[in-house]
Amino acid sequence: MNYKCPLYINGQFIETAEKQNIINPSSGKVIAEASLASDKDVEEAVSGARQAFDNGPWPQFSLPERKEFIMRIARGILDNAGRLAEMETQNSGKPIKETTFMDIPSGARSFEFMAQHLMDYLEGRQIEVNPEARAGLSREPAGVVALIIPWNYPFLIACWKLASALAAGNTVVLKPSSLTPLTALELVRIIHESGIPGGVVNFINGAGARIGQLLCEDKRLDMISFTGSNETGRQILQYSSRNIKKMIMELGGKSASLVFADCDLETAVNSSLTSIFLNQGQMCTAMSRIFVQEEIYGAFVSDFVQKAKRIKLGLAENHETQMGPLISDAQRKKVIAYVDKAKTEGANLVCGGRIPENPELKNGYFFEPTVLVDIGTHSHIFREEVFGPVVLIHKFSGSDEAVSLANSSDFGLASCVWSKDVSLAQEVASRINAGTVWINTYGMFYDELPYGGFKQSGFGKELGREGFLEYTRLKSVITDHSEQGKPLVNYWYGF
């Protein structure tokens, strides 16, 4: 399979002279050739989006007209679901089971949800301030929005952002990770085929450092929606500060799972495996720190390690594969460096920590599920995001200590609580400094619920009513109704 990945600017697919090879992480082989955007291409994309917003028909479409476009996109995703799942697997290394049953259908549902609730969310309201004045509150699109997408969920997060941004009436410049542009482009093809006006959606691919700076410094952009690493997030904030913009920043995590002694142990173990090893641990919500109450600590670790060793590593396109490769050799080296440093700082490696010896996997970027215990809270791996299949398991005595351990992080994205005592779990959840807390489950994202973190995990929300409204601006229009049309301001100077 060998794809061509052009740019998409002002309704036209554009091949550029400068190209980049796209690698399949399972095999290390080239699967696509992607065009790289020049500074001029970025300029044309931003200019096109600005023109489409200021003078084009898209922001002026009625809500029913816009809804029809959003539904066409959802139908297009489902019509192409098999091909999209295969492409996502080949480009990102996600097991085909995940892309088929999670990423692609979830992306379609995000568009469906926004279409179904569009008119409710954008409904204005009237306020009678006092007998002399009435005000109308209305929601308008934010304007021109740059959507910057990470490599770990390249299709799904593109859907989250595009569904909200387009439903609200914005025009966009979409910038995927240069590692994983393929399914984002296919989504753009589906949007193009929906008949959406030219300039409403623009797709540019290239090195994040250069394109990110150009986008974030450009005063013609009204908003930046970014999902990615804290390091890149700080750079984006710095660039954007030169021309004030609205921001959504969904950054990293060092999420904690709290396992209480009264939990259903089998369920907690099985679900905890998913919470760290799904997508090879390359999730900002990965439960990379698992704290277990001391009464069941030994039993939990024993069962967890035994089952982690049975996780089937394999080529991502194999339907029996449970865990695929990391995204790149550089990412694998980063993970290995963290594990090695943790061992020098006193951690005990009880599972994994190696590149697998299976010859079928030798050309891919595979790494075994890895479990560390006896980790000091001072260690780097306790505090810093690894973004790989590495979990720390630590014990606690009571709920106060558990909450303290969970909150002993600069991040505040997500957490889990496992206990049959739902009242206890809810009380603990109320004290955890994280934007999402799952009780007796993990990773359930719903289009109805906003998602976003606290502290160094960023600000702003995706999904839900609140996430949708992030892509709008609120306007007040105040009309005088004073007697004889003479407002108080008329008399201020006494003329």
Copy the structure tokens of residue 425.
């779990």
Distance between CA atoms of 419 and 259, rounded to whole angstroms? 7
Q: Where do we find the tokens 């085929």?
A: 193
* Residue from 170, 176, 49, 31 nearest 114 by CA: 170
Copy the structure tokens of residue 204.
């540019």
The answer to whether 8 and 188 have CB atoms below 8 angstroms apart is yes
Buried b (16+ CB within 10 A) or exposed e, 59-79: bebebeebbebbbbbbebbbe
Half-sphere exposure of 324 (CA within 13 A, CB side): 29
* Residue from 144, 197, 195 nearest 173 by CA: 144
DSSP state of 122: T
Helix axes 208-217, 230-240, angle to 10 degrees: 30
Question: What is the set of active-site residues?
Answer: 250, 284
Distance between CA atoms of 105 and 89, rounded to whole angstroms? 14
